[in-house]
Structure 1
């Protein structure tokens, strides 16, 4: 059951309504997450601004989706796992890559390094072992990449916590949180 209800464009003040209209124009819909955040224009605009900034960074769209999936799985956010499974597919990730991002198994390639670092960052609340950081550099990730991953984790954690508290109704194809061991 939804705890924080979403706000329709008709219920929103003119500025927030214009923001929601811009979201709809950009992605073709107003996801329930954004309609929920619209209850607080500060929260909505904070997320949109952060997403715009990190979207212009050096990480690719598929890498950002790997981070979102690993973060969402670690934070048990079914709304975001569902949303980012679709967005990840649209960014070029195949079904195996979507699962690999969510399981965040360590590996030597860049995608595995990003996913495993993301999982460690969330689960260890930023207290990541030096060995993990060294593995990132060995995978070709730079210090700038590491900071950008952190920024992406922050944005996704914001949405995870919002959806987990609000119990946002999933308006994407539903993906379960369970993973085969």
Structure 2
């Protein structure tokens, strides 16, 4: 293993006891870190550590940046590395403004599709780590890093938010399923029954080990039994996706909330007016407000009072909420920067989500 300790436990400064309530999330968070830092093909370890440190600095996570800078000697400057560092700025600060030209810029700098996917996974994962660490510090009663707030861009207004089912097309070259390795096939089959025909998964499976850890982590966060009500998880995922400008993810989780709650009103309100819309209950209001705050200000102090009093959440439920907000910092950034949504030729309510993993 690349790391011999749990990075989040170290950075959050809190005992692992609460985190191990969600043991699978605990294990696969560290597993994703190790998978993303140990790759050697195309994107060397020193470049990966430098890229992760830069992403953490952009996100205002100074302790996380110091962790990554301590993993490997700084690589020599190069035009290839500079292109990846610019890509980190896009993913961390303004992912909703991405377009195919940004993938083309990486290709022109000499990076192949597997390198682009590995770099994008790593950068987006760092934003997950930053928010998970911030939430855990708040749960432990510890101060936030409280530096200058990151200069996040506003969500793109180019595509309308919708409850309709959408498709997704990749900008990066995807794996040809007929030429996929047995390991790639196995991870695709584990991730989602339809993953072998999903452009999203056929892009991510370039980095097969990272995809395995990510799929298991996502499942452990969104589908774990007990704890935070599934409707609250979906409202949080929707609020984060709306703030980040991820039209595809917002559509998926708006529909999923509506199915669970048997009510489209709150989901439609967030899609139309943003997370500040009237959501009908104090509980939903507290959940959405926290999701937005942790998404946009991960290095600023977090107040858990409304979650505990207005929403009635205990610490294990707040832990689930922190995980949801953190994992959608990661998911949104991949969806926004590796491809784009479109209205399918035959839109149906049974359309599979690129983010829907098996339970």
Task: Give deviations 1:74-130, integer Å, cap 9, x for gaps.
Answer: 111122112223333333352212134552238752222111110111011252443
Q: Which residue does 1:12 correspond to in 2?
A: 180
Which runs of structure 1 show a deviation greater than 6 angstroms over 4 or more consecutive aligned residues? Answer: none
1:136 to 287, 298, 307: 307
Deviation, structure 1 residue 171: 7.2
Q: Any unmatched runs of 5+ in structure 2?
A: 1-99, 101-169, 348-359
CA contact (8 A) 1:23 1:29 kept: no
The whole-number CA distance in structure 2 between the counterparts of 1:162 and 1:86 is 20
How far apart, CA to CA, are the structure 1 residues paired with 2:187 and 2:288? 32
Report SS of the residue matched to 2:242.
Answer: helix
Instruction: Tell me what 1:156 maps to.
Output: 328
Name the residue aligned to 1:85: 254
CA gap 1:83/1:113 in 2 versus in 1, 3 angstroms: same
Aligned length: 171
Higher relative contact order (CA 8 A, sep 6+): 1
What 5-or-longer segments of structure 1 have no aligned partner? Answer: 174-181
Alpha-carbon RMSD across the aligned residues, in angstroms, is 2.9
Residues 1:34 and 1:92: Cα distance change in structure 2 (over 3 Å): farther
Larger radius of gyration: 2
Distance 1:28 1:81, change over 3 A: same
Say which SS state the counterpart of residue 91 (structure 1) adopts.
Answer: helix
TM superposition score normalised by structure 2: 0.42
CA 1:168 to 1:146, structure 2 compared with 1: closer, same or farther past 3 Å?
Answer: same
- For residues 192 and 171 of structure 2, the distance between their equivalents in structure 1, rounded to whole angstroms, comes to 23
